[in-house]
Amino acid sequence: MCDKLPEIQQDRDKWQEKRSKLKDRDFKFETVSSMPVNDLYTPLDIPDFDHARDLGMPGSYPYTRGVQPNMYRGRFWTMRQFAGFATARESNERYKYLLSKGQTGLSVAFDMPTIMGYDSDHPRALGEVGRVGVAIDSLQDMETLFDGIPLDKVSTSMTTNAPASILWCMYIATGEKQGVPSEKLTGTIQNDILKEYIAQKSWIYPPEPSMRLITNIFEYACKHVPKWNTVSISGYHIREAGSTAVQELAFTLADGFAYVEAGMAAGLNVDDFAPRLSFFFNAHIDFFEEIAKYRAARRIWARRMKEKYGAKDPKSWLLRFHTQTAGCSLTAQQPENNIVRTAYEAMGAVLGGTQSLHTNSMDEVLALPTEKAVQIALRTQQIIAYETGVPNVIDPLAGSYYVEALTNKMEEEAEKYFAEIERRGGVLASIDQNFFQQEIADAAYHFQRAVDKKQRIVVGVNEFVNENESVDIDILKIDPQIELDQVARVQKLRQERDNNRVNGALEALRNAAQGTDNMIPFILDSVRAYATQGEIVQVLREVFGEYKEKPIF
Amino acid sequence: MSRRIRVLVAKPGLDGHDRGARVIARALRDAGMEVVYTGLHQTPEQVVEAAIQEDVDVVGLSILSGAHMTLFPRIKQLLAENGADDIMVMGGGTIPEEDVKELKEGGWTEEIFTPGTTIEDIVAWINSNVKVD
């Protein structure tokens, strides 16, 4: 290719002369992340392109083309719809419904009190029980949540972070009750506390003890729950908070490197825990930018893991990821249009080689999704898988001058952020300096101004608006009685359980937290005794203290 | 010349979705208002205490957790109990249309801005509804 470059340059110059006489639309041509894009890409944009070095074959280093040698010819991505609402009993019914419709993995959404480590009867839980996910206070609720769902047959993803260790122990204990040993459990806990400080903001303890809990989980998992993904390093929330695609890529991978360094600093061998790290990215609306982001992510991760952290096991080099379409790209206006947005985003994720995918429902911008909306979202994935032909060919956009140039660009820009983060003293120091938070706030503000000024068009919102539109789609309502019932349930449990056993287990946990032991066995014992999540969190909060943000805007 | 309008942007509830709150806070500041942002996870008591302490004209509540039917009335009640019912309450977030109607009719909020509202609309609403001496 290289020897033809002068000829191509001549051709391009001629074309440039002709095309510069044509008037373009009055529009700033850039990605949704404000990255400028050229009007045309040619071999001149990737002059040093080297297939073996830059891409490799699928399933081979540096994995730009995908993590499996046969990708979707082996099996499709896991179609994993995030769901959970009200109480364990209602959510259990929704899971059984989803499994009967052909969904292949479960993904549990918890309500805010559960996410923040409060029991349903805590004053701070008032009005929030079962609203945005399912309320889980104790092992009793977890047993109900998976009633009739054999844990050795499904893989389960749980979106929990600050109290991840506790909910994970409840899942392990539920497996024990079903007779499924922990070695057979498969699934993921999000457990990514760094992005909580950066973007999602559901924290409890300060960063240092939070990182200790995470390395405790790494250590326990490699001995007892070897098939579990111990952390899902998440860019999704960073993007939803308003970041650009490059920021999502760079901050997420920087978090990943921080977990690797923490694990190694805790004395673990990198190849013992790195294969169980997984990632979670956003699928936003700018099609090619997203595809380039996923490809760049795989390549950066593989190179760093091998070259910087000295990982020897190829499984440590693999960046496996879950994707969710962008909630923030959806509009409350003309919500049916969200089906189309989600479909393009999902197609981008598939072309980018995702391992699992959640497609948002059209009504999620208004409330929790109805069954009909969830079904359309799942069908969207099935249409991509079974009808479009896209999954037949591995990484079909490789070699596109644009996609390769953009992949390189994403990598270069991410490297600039890595250097900046290092200059600031690492990820924890950058969080403390509000660096990530300010970068994201700036990007979010820039985007909103562009929409308000119509420099960026959002269909149905600032252009093509239906006057006097009234939304006539069904909305899922949560009955307020659910909160009262859940409060009664946890209070009844506290009266009926063996409270001596609970107190003994919690005191043992307190001692472990004050020392240097791995805390997981003590949390597991507390859970088995039916200590509530709120009680366990309270013990750790008393030992570790609470994180306080410095609000900026 | 009249003094500048003072706004408290508050994030009650347990969720961490502060993108909207921060964009609004910055936009109102750029529009010439004095803005205080509470940060996340505020209880209604904390919101009202801050509103009174900062002597604001209007409180903007950003709620995406689904707890709006509990939080708006609670904050209005606490303002009234503390003799601060001259402070207006506006809000935004994922709030279904029928809840918006119920909250406004119940007098629990002066105005609710749903997704898609421009910053200019919010600024214009504050300027025409908040009277400063």
DSSP string, B77-115: HHHHHTT-TTSEEEEEES--HHHHHHHHHTTS-SEEE-T
Task: Tell me, yes or no, whether A384 lies in a domain.
Answer: yes
Query: Which of A:187-206 have CB within 8 Å of B?
Result: 196, 199-202
Query: For residues B58 and B130, is the Cβ–Cβ distance under 8 A?
Result: yes
What SS3 string covers A369-410?
A: CCHHHHHHHHHHHHHHHHCCCHHHCCCCCCCCHHHHHHHHHH
**What does the alpha-carbon distance between residue A496 and residue A41 come to, in Å, rounded to a whole number?**
69
Task: Tell me, yes or no, whether A256 lies in a domain.
Answer: yes
∠ CA B116-A129-A172, nearest 5°, is 115
Task: Tell me, yes or no, whether A409 lies in a domain.
Answer: yes
In B18-70 the beta strands, taken as DSSP E runs, fall at 34-37, 58-63
Average pLDDT over residues A50-73: 97
Who among B19, B21, B120 is closest to A452 (CB)? Answer: B120
Q: Which residue has the higher pLDDT, A372 or A501?
A: A501
Q: Is A551 on the interface with B (CB under 8 A)?
A: yes
Domain that holds residue A345: 54-61+72-452
Percentage of chain A exceeding pLDDT 70: 99
- Structure confidence at residue B1 (pLDDT): 55
- Structure confidence at residue B94 (pLDDT): 83
Q: Is the pLDDT confidence value at A368 over 80?
A: no
Count how many domains chain A has: 1
Task: Tell me, yes or no, whether A42 lies in a domain.
Answer: no
pLDDT digits (tens, 9 = 90+) for A240-298: 999 999 999 999 999 999 999 999 999 999 999 999 999 999 999 999 999 999 999 99
Query: What single DSSP character describes residue A305?
Result: I
Please give the mean pLDDT across all residues of chain A: 95
Amino acid in position A204: I
A234 DSSP β-pair partners: A280
- Structure confidence at residue A9 (pLDDT): 97
CATH for the stretch B6-129 = 3.40.50.280
3-state secondary structure of A463: strand
Domain ranges in chain B?
A: 6-129
- Structure confidence at residue A186 (pLDDT): 95
pLDDT digits (tens, 9 = 90+) for B1-55: 578 999 999 999 888 889 999 999 999 999 999 999 999 999 999 999 999 999 9
**What does the alpha-carbon distance between residue A239 and residue B26 come to, in Å, rounded to a whole number?**
19
The end-to-end CA distance of chain A, in Å, is: 49
pLDDT digits (tens, 9 = 90+) for A169-189: 999 999 999 999 999 999 999
CB contact under 8 A, A471 and B97: yes
Task: Tell me, yes or no, whether A511 lies in a domain.
Answer: no
CB contact under 8 A, A126 and B19: no
Average pLDDT over residues A340-364: 96
- Structure confidence at residue B92 (pLDDT): 93
pLDDT digits (tens, 9 = 90+) for A461-516: 999 999 877 766 677 777 889 999 999 999 999 999 999 999 999 999 999 999 99
Per-residue pLDDT band at A383 (split at 50, 70, 90) = very high
Who among B38, B40, B119 is closest to A448 (CB)? Answer: B119
Query: For residues A55 and A398, is the Cβ–Cβ distance under 8 A?
Result: yes
pLDDT digits (tens, 9 = 90+) for A418-438: 999 999 999 999 999 999 999
Percentage of chain A exceeding pLDDT 90: 87
- Structure confidence at residue A2 (pLDDT): 63
Average pLDDT over residues B113-118: 87
Q: Is B13 on the interface with A (CB under 8 A)?
A: yes
Task: Tell me, yes or no, whether A15 lies in a domain.
Answer: no
Q: Which residue has the higher pLDDT, A86 or A322?
A: A322
Task: Tell me, yes or no, whether A9 lies in a domain.
Answer: no
Place of tokens 């003590």: A522
Q: Spell out which residues of chain B touch residue A441, defining contact as CB-CB under 8 Å.
A: 22-23, 26
Task: Tell me, yes or no, whether A388 lies in a domain.
Answer: yes
CB contact under 8 A, A553 and B21: yes
CATH number at A279 reads 3.20.20.240
What SS3 string covers A146-178?
A: CCCCCCCCCEEEECCCCCHHHHHHHHHHHHHHH
CB contact under 8 A, A553 and B94: no
- Structure confidence at residue A479 (pLDDT): 85
Average pLDDT over residues A79-93: 85
CB contact under 8 A, A448 and B23: yes
- Structure confidence at residue A366 (pLDDT): 80
